Amino acid sequence: MVLNVNPARPFGALLTAMVTPFDDAGKVDIEAARRLATWLVDRGCDGILVNGTTGEAPTTDDAEKAELVGAVVDAVGKRVAVLAGAGSNHTGHAERMAREAVAAGADGILVVTPYYSRPSQAGVVAHIQTVAEAGGVPTMIYDVPSRTGVRVSPEAYGQLAEHPLIVATKDASGDVAAAITLAASTGLIWYSGDDSMLLPFLAVGGAGVISVAAHAVAPQFAQVFAAWDAQEPARALEIFRSVVPAIKAINGAGMQAVMAKAAVQLLGVLPNRDVRAPLTPATEQEVADLKLGLEAAHVLPQI
């Protein structure tokens, strides 16, 4: 376990929300997942999130999730923190996923606010606390109102921060102004859940990012963190600007799992870009547009 090597960044600074590879028969490709996790860490990621939205968690079953955690922990768990999603709008189901992820070796769990059900803030608090206790490991809240329909309120954040296992949040609300006060008032460690908001969140005290674009731009993002930590914000901005075309190409259409998987196929890491229904693989035109973005960011050589 590598968690808490740096208490200010308990899960690392640059975490990739890793895609879940599938083989030609539609099964989770465990060996490809090992290779992908290792490749991401070799390129500068100091944390890996498995079984998140980008990992197509809604369409992988519990046994697949646990096997995937175990494979990634085996591949990179001695080098970086491995965080596992335990997200469901069924609290009991999320509890089981948390226990199974920890049994498979996860260093921490990510708990999204219950989606679709739209519970009260009391329900949000009870759900996240219950799942954290089931896992028994450091826990990160995932606040993504665009997907769940529910935002964590300041009062709920305050209650959750009192729980000893709840140490951080992945904030995908885009509300930097709220993060300024919430991070200070709660003491939670703040991670950006949106690639494009990395620098604004760092500027207000954020610890890092849970990234989709890092599938393609991990080395550059690692350089952004190095420059920021060296108190060279202008240099951090320069590096970040250089990869904006890639960030837009992967995230712009809101199909992160689809486009991130297409990106790593273009980069030669995965043999295919297969996804599970209801997602559909990137079309040839979408791949062509993605390729242009990656080329503009100098991630792929221009031909």
Kindly list the catalytic residues.
Answer: 142, 170
Contacts 24+ apart (CB under 8 A), 145-151: 145/113, 145/172, 145/173, 146/172, 147/53, 147/112, 147/115, 147/172, 148/112, 148/113, 148/114, 148/115, 148/116, 149/115, 149/116, 149/118, 150/113, 150/114, 150/115, 150/118, 150/119, 150/124, 151/113
How far apart CA 289 and CA 251 sit, in angstroms, is: 12
Structure tokens at 244: 């904006």
Q: Is there a contact between 250 and 290 (Cβ–Cβ < 8 Å)?
A: yes
Which residues, 6 or more positions from 85, have their beta carbon under 8 angstroms from its beta carbon? 49, 50, 51, 52, 53, 55, 57, 65, 97, 101, 109, 110, 112, 142
At residue 8, φ and ψ (nearest 5 deg) are -75, -20
